[in-house]
Structure 1
Amino acid sequence: MSTHALDLEMSLETREEVELARTAQRCIMSALDHSNAVSIALLEDGVERIDGLPLLKLPPKVLQLIANMLGSLAQGKAVALMPKELDVTTQQAAQFLNVSRPHLIRLLEQGAIAHHMVGSHRRIRLADVLDYKEKRSQQSREKLTALLEQAQELDMGYPR
């Protein structure tokens, strides 16, 4: 999204890479289910060694992030890693939210998403875009639940 950001965008290209990602995700998730601290042995040089293998200790939250990324990659989805403090352009935010840029500008002008000006250009913190998307998803879930309840009350064939 920005050349100034620490970002990594990638996808897996071979069947072997996809299978390795699936296997690694299963191993990480299994380890997290059975422990609150997980150690991973690397095949390259490291600082500590157990039985001749380098040891890397990672917090569970980091392992969960890695497992989620591996799962997405194994499903053929591209993954991007970037800091939430990153500022994005209106075009980038619109693409992320899957809305038109003019619609996004209206949302900014209405105050639905916070933004700031850099010269004459609007910039939006990625965290604010993510917050808006989560609120929009929550509202959609609530409205769908209300519609389902109404359909059940009207006996429209939806089971309770």
Structure 2
Amino acid sequence: MHTEDRSRGAPVPTLSEPDMEMARVAQRCIMEALDRSKAASIVLTTDHGEHPSVAVPPAALKLIGQLLGAMSEGRAVTLVPAQREFTTVEAAHFLNVSRPFVVKEIDEGRLRHRMVGTHRRIAFEDLQAYSRAMREKQSAALDRLAQANQDLGLEY
């Protein structure tokens, strides 16, 4: 029996330096236009006017600006609908941990979820909050470790 891993999308292409620079310039232009304009929409046109102009809501342009910012740094981006719910397997992939670890965190009340029949579902918002809290705890632990090393006069 063949099982397809649907939780991972198509391979993310790497951006060349010229593409990253183009994304950086485009982000700067979009963010400057948003800062100066109080318009209900902003119109994008091409250099040569070959294609029709398109009106884009400022909220969408802000999202595009954030996307371009990540691209300009060479980071991969995945768009996830805000109301999306993850399975425990998908949550494990998102957090870069094992599925049993996710289940343990759910069972111990550290990761919010809801039951759909016998299946656990984790809201994307809850997954993000858990991920943020986990990173903050890790950072605090590293700070304490570094401080302990300094107190003991150890080099690392």
Q: Considering the TM-score relative to the shorter chain, is it more than 0.5? A: yes
Q: Percent identity, please.
A: 24
More strand by share: 1
Q: How many residues align?
A: 142
Q: Deviations over 1:110-143 (max 9, x none)?
A: 1111111111111110111111111000011111
Closer/same/farther in 2, CA of residues 34 and 153 from structure 1, 3 Å limit: farther
2:81 corresponds to which of 63, 80, 83: 83
Cross-structure match for 2:97: 99
Query: Aligned runs of 1:17-28 on 2, under 5 Å?
Result: 19-28=18-27
- TM-score of the two chains, using structure 1 as the length reference: 0.69
Closer/same/farther in 2, CA of residues 148 and 117 from structure 1, 3 Å limit: same
Q: Deviations over 1:51-77 (max 9, x none)?
A: xxxx656357425422234235xx2x5
Deviation at 1:100, TM superposition (A): 1.2
Alpha-carbon separation, structure 1, partners of 2:93 and 2:152: 39
CA contact (8 A) 2:23 2:69 kept: no
With CA pairs under 8 Å and 6+ residues apart, which has the higher RCO, 1 or 2? 1
CA contact (8 A) 1:9 1:79 kept: no
Deviation at 1:147, TM superposition (A): 1.2
Cross-structure match for 2:45: 42
Closer/same/farther in 2, CA of residues 14 and 109 from structure 1, 3 Å limit: closer
Is the partner of 1:81 in helix, strand or coil? Answer: coil
Deviation at 1:97, TM superposition (A): 0.9
Please tell me whether residue 68 in structure 1 is matched to residue 69 in structure 2. yes
Structure 1 residue runs of 4 or more that deviate by more than 6 Å after TM superposition: none
CA-based RMSD of the aligned residues comes to 3.3
CA contact (8 A) 2:91 2:122 kept: yes
Give the unaligned 5+ runs of structure 2. none
Closer/same/farther in 2, CA of residues 97 and 126 from structure 1, 3 Å limit: same
- TM-score of the two chains, using structure 2 as the length reference: 0.71
Give the unaligned 5+ runs of structure 1. 48-54
